[in-house]
């Protein structure tokens, strides 16, 4: 069983964000101890990780909540959930391509700047 703080370190989210997510119902069956402290078991932790992945694919809080609700409905919602996951897998793939383009662009820029800087140094007749 982990506290909010421990989970925050584990999966690199802020404590605020984790409380925000649990309050929004994105982690089903989250437990509390007698002092009302949130306690995460392995299942809750895994849910939170799933939530993070979906969010990073661009799914809104509302839609994640909807997905969680589908899960809680049980097996009858499996096909719907599959279609959602499939859609977000494709989004993830597009994001991967975009990220690759960004890296390329930034590398080009770095190279560009290096050329300018090196040229300036060799042109520079006055020592530092």
Partner DNA sequence: CCTTGACTTCGTGTTACTCGAATGCAGTAC
Partner DNA sequence: GTACTGCATTCGAGTAACACGAAGTCAAGG
Residues forming contacts to DNA in the complex (CB under 7 A) are 3-6, 14-17, 19-20, 23, 32, 35-38, 55, 60-62
Q: Please tell me the distance from the alpha carbon of residue 117 to that of residue 119, in angstroms, as a whole number.
A: 5
Q: Does residue 119 bind a second copy (CB under 8 A)?
A: no
**Residue 105 touches which of a second copy, DNA, none (Cβ within 5-8 Å per kind):** a second copy
d(CA 30, CA 36): 11
- The one of a second copy, DNA, none whose footprint includes residue 56, by CB under 5 to 8 A per kind, is a second copy
Site residues for a second copy per CB under 8 A: 53, 56-57, 75, 78-79, 81-82, 85-86, 88-89, 92-93, 95-96, 98-100, 102-103, 105-107, 109-110, 113-114, 116-117, 120
């Amino acid at each position: 069983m982990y506290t909010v703080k421990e989970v925050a370190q584990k999966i690199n989210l802020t404590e605020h964000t984790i409380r925000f997510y649990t309050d929004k119902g994105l982690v089903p069956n989250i437990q509390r101890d007698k002092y009302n402290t949130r306690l995460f078991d392995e299942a809750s932790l895994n849910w939170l990780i799933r939530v993070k992945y979906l969010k990073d694919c661009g799914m809104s809080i509302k839609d994640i909540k909807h997905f969680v609700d589908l899960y809680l409905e049980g097996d009858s919602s499996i096909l719907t959930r599959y279609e959602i996951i499939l859609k977000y897998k494709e989004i993830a793939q597009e994001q991967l391509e975009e990220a690759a383009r960004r890296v390329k662009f930034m590398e080009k820029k770095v190279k560009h700047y290096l050329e300018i800087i090196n040229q300036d140094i060799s042109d520079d007749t006055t020592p530092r």
